[in-house]
Structure formats: structure tokens, C-alpha cells
């Protein structure tokens, strides 16, 4: 049987078809629901996605911009490539991406209580200390796993954690980069890129370099956010002032309500000037498990 060209204009023929990967989705598999959140990238929607004949509740990141924009597709595919390898209770699961036409979609696990920063603003004052400690444990567990898998997240913060039944899941891998070992650095090349200055380590501010230890510094900021109910880090300072103060050695003091072991993690293990002297996320997680292990087992049983 003679093959027909895929378009009349070019006359091109498909000689060998490339099979679709399980994470490559078609837009008609996704039915969008209500808008959950909105940002510069676009919006996040509740959705139903049909996979292997089953309808699954999902969260869909719908990107602004044209599907033919190569830079957008490159960044989204990088995020999907990183996420699809991971399976961990404290990491948001990726179902797939749809890039065949506008709008580009990233389809993820639905985490019903939403972003941690919004959750803390609404409910933080009513959470007990042990519940906030469990959040610290979960985030440490997720970051330890990412670093073990060779991933620098580069955007650790309350806004990039999601909450479900008091369980924390790390999300948003748009800035993440994979490395071959924990000593490797990622050097930022686009110096005009908008960055989360209030969460960055001093070496990143000075040299535009990222390592797993810069994630550790950002984890210290996350601890502060958890016990301050998602207040803005370095509140009262401008971005320029934060940049200069952190490079000059200033560190935020721990909140008074923060337990002493968590204060130690934040101030002694995370906020050290020299990244090589910071503990790894594996060491921090082990320390927290030794201090609060029973709390982590409680949340896993929920």
C-alpha cells in the first residue's frame, strides 16, 4: 500500500514512527476545571485527565506563550524530564505533558490543600508546634531524595511546597537542574533571569552558582517561613537591601516559637557562610528524625 504524505505542501512521508512516551499526553485527554492559582507563567487548574482508560483528578499548569516558542518548550520539557523520574511521598508526582498545541500543559498529581504559603497564611496560627515540625521533616525528606537523585531544586520555598492532609510535597521544578554528583555546581548563564532573591544563598548572590548546599541554605529560609506563617523573609527590606545584607553576612534570627532543635538546623546547619561547612540534606534529615522521628511516623500513618 502506497504511503500518503502527511502534508500536501511538503510531500513528506512518515517512514518510521516514533512511539509516544507514557508521559506525552494529548490535549483531548485533559478536561480543565476551576482555576486554583495564577502566576507569571499562566495558571494552575483542577482537571480530570484520562490515562489508560481511567479518569484521574489532577492539577494542570497551563503555560502562557505560543506552543512553537522553542525556549518555552525546552524549559517545560526539562521540568517534565526531571519530574518523571521521581517517586517519593514528599515529591509531587508528574502524570505528563501536552505540548502538541496551545496551551502547553504540565499535568501533575492533585494536592488538595494547595500551596504551603497560602495554607500557612490561612491556618498557620491554629497549627500546633508538632504539626509545623512535621512539615519541616517532610520537606527535609523530599530534598534529601532529590539530592540523592542528582537534582538541585534551586527554588526551595513555602510557595513551592504543597499540602495534603498535613503532608508536605515539594513541587515546581521549573528552575531545577540535574547534576552527576553532589559536589557539582550549576552556573547561571542568564543573569537577567528573575530570581527569588529572598531565598538565595550568599554564594548564589555573589557568583551565580548553585549546588545542593545552596538548596540547604534555602531550606533554612523555608523553616523560618513555616514558623512565621509564610511571612515575607527579610520583611521591611527591599530586594537590593536583602542582596547586600546577605552577602555581608546578615542572617535572619529564628522565630521565638521555633523549637531549639529546629533553630539549630536553621542557624547552625543551614545558614553557614561557607557552603562546604553546611550539613547535607541527608545529615539534616537524619538529625531531625533523631529528634522528632515519632512525629514523622505519625504523619505517614495518616
The pLDDT tens digits for 71-128 are 667 777 777 878 888 999 999 999 988 888 888 888 999 998 999 999 999 999 999 9
Query: Can you give the pTM of this predicted structure?
Result: 0.86
Annotated binding site for Mg(2+): 160, 172
Determine the Cα–Cα distance for residues 141 and 133; give it in Å rounded to an integer.
Answer: 12
* Residue 39: closest CA among 95, 111, 123, 117: 117
Do 168 and 179 touch, CB atoms closer than 8 A? no
Q: For residue 27, count CB atoms less than 10 angstroms from its CB and return exposed for 0-12, middle for 13-18, buried for 19 or more.
A: middle
Grid coordinates 536553621 are at which residue?
Answer: 266
Do 166 and 238 touch, CB atoms closer than 8 A? no
pLDDT of residue 301: 39
pLDDT of residue 4: 62
Question: Catalytic residue positions?
Answer: 155
Total count of residues recorded for the chain: 302
Q: Which one is the CATH code of 27-109: 3.20.20.70, 2.60.420.10, 3.30.420.40, 3.30.200.20?
A: 3.30.200.20
DSSP 246: H
Q: Where do the CATH 1.10.510.10 domains begin and end in the chain?
A: 116-300
Determine the Cα–Cα distance for residues 25 and 237; give it in Å rounded to an integer.
Answer: 44
Annotated binding site for ATP: 159
Vertex 269: Cα angle to 284 and 248 (nearest 5): 145
Grid coordinates 557539582 are at which residue?
Answer: 184
pLDDT of residue 298: 47
Determine the Cα–Cα distance for residues 64 and 36; give it in Å rounded to an integer.
Answer: 16
Q: What grid cell was written down for 9?
A: 505542501
Could you list the beta-strand ranges (E) of 25-138.
30-39, 42-51, 54-63, 94-98, 105-109
Determine the Cα–Cα distance for residues 231 and 121; give it in Å rounded to an integer.
Answer: 8
pLDDT of residue 180: 77
Through-space distance between the first and last CA atoms of the chain, rounded to whole angstroms:
59
* Residue 239: closest CA among 197, 194, 199, 202: 197
Q: Where do the CATH 3.30.200.20 domains begin and end in the chain?
A: 27-109
Vertex 31: Cα angle to 29 and 37 (nearest 5): 125
**Range 116-300 has CATH code 1.10.510.10:** yes
Annotated binding site: 159-160, 172
Give the pLDDT of the chain (302 residues) as one tens digit per residue: 555 665 565 666 655 555 566 667 999 999 999 998 887 677 899 999 998 889 999 999 888 765 456 666 777 777 787 888 899 999 999 998 888 888 888 899 999 899 999 999 999 999 999 999 999 999 999 999 999 999 999 999 999 999 999 899 999 888 899 887 766 888 887 767 789 999 999 999 999 999 999 999 999 999 999 999 999 999 999 999 999 999 999 999 999 999 999 999 999 999 999 999 999 999 999 999 999 876 555 444 33
Determine the Cα–Cα distance for residues 166 and 54; give it in Å rounded to an integer.
Answer: 27
Do 115 and 222 touch, CB atoms closer than 8 A? no
Grid coordinates 488538595 are at which residue?
Answer: 112
Q: For residue 40, count CB atoms less than 10 angstroms from its CB and return exposed for 0-12, middle for 13-18, buried for 19 or more.
A: exposed
Amino acid at each position: 500500500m502506497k504511503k500518503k504524505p502527511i502534508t500536501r505542501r511538503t510531500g513528506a512521508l512518515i517512514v518510521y514512527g516514533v512511539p509516544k512516551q507514557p508521559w506525552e499526553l494529548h490535549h483531548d485527554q485533559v478536561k480543565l476545571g476551576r482555576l486554583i492559582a495564577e502566576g507569571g507563567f499562566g495558571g494552575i487548574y483542577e482537571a480530570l485527565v484520562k490515562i489508560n482508560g481511567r479518569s484521574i483528578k489532577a492539577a494542570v499548569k497551563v503555560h502562557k506563550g505560543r506552543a512553537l516558542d522553542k525556549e518555552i518548550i525546552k524549559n517545560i520539557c526539562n521540568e517534565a524530564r526531571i519530574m518523571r523520574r521521581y517517586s517519593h511521598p514528599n515529591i509531587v508526582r508528574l502524570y505528563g505533558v501536552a505540548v502538541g498545541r496551545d496551551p502547553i500543559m504540565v499535568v501533575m498529581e492533585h494536592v488538595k490543600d494547595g500551596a504551603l504559603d497560602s495554607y500557612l497564611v490561612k491556618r498557620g496560627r491554629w497549627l500546633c508546634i508538632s504539626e509545623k515540625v512535621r512539615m519541616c521533616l517532610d520537606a527535609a525528606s523530599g530534598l534529601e531524595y532529590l539530592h540523592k537523585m542528582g537534582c538541585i531544586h534551586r527554588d526551595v520555598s513555602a510557595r513551592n511546597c504543597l499540602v495534603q492532609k498535613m503532608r508536605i510535597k515539594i513541587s515546581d521544578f521549573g528552575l531545577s537542574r540535574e547534576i552527576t554528583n553532589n559536589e557539582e555546581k550549576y552556573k547561571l548563564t542568564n543573569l537577567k533571569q528573575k530570581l527569588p532573591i529572598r531565598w538565595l544563598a550568599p554564594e548564589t548572590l555573589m557568583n551565580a552558582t548553585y549546588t545542593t548546599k545552596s538548596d540547604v541554605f534555602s531550606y533554612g529560609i523555608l523553616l523560618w517561613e513555616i514558623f512565621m506563617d509564610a511571612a515575607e523573609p527579610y520583611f521591611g527590606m527591599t530586594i537590593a537591601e536583602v542582596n547586600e545584607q546577605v552577602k555581608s553576612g546578615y542572617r535572619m534570627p529564628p522565630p521565638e516559637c521555633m523549637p531549639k532543635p529546629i533553630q539549630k538546623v536553621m542557624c547552625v546547619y543551614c545558614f553557614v557562610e561557607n557552603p562546604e561547612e553546611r550539613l547535607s540534606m541527608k545529615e539534616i534529615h537524619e538529625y531531625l528524625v533523631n529528634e522528632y522521628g515519632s512525629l514523622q511516623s505519625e504523619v505517614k500513618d495518616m
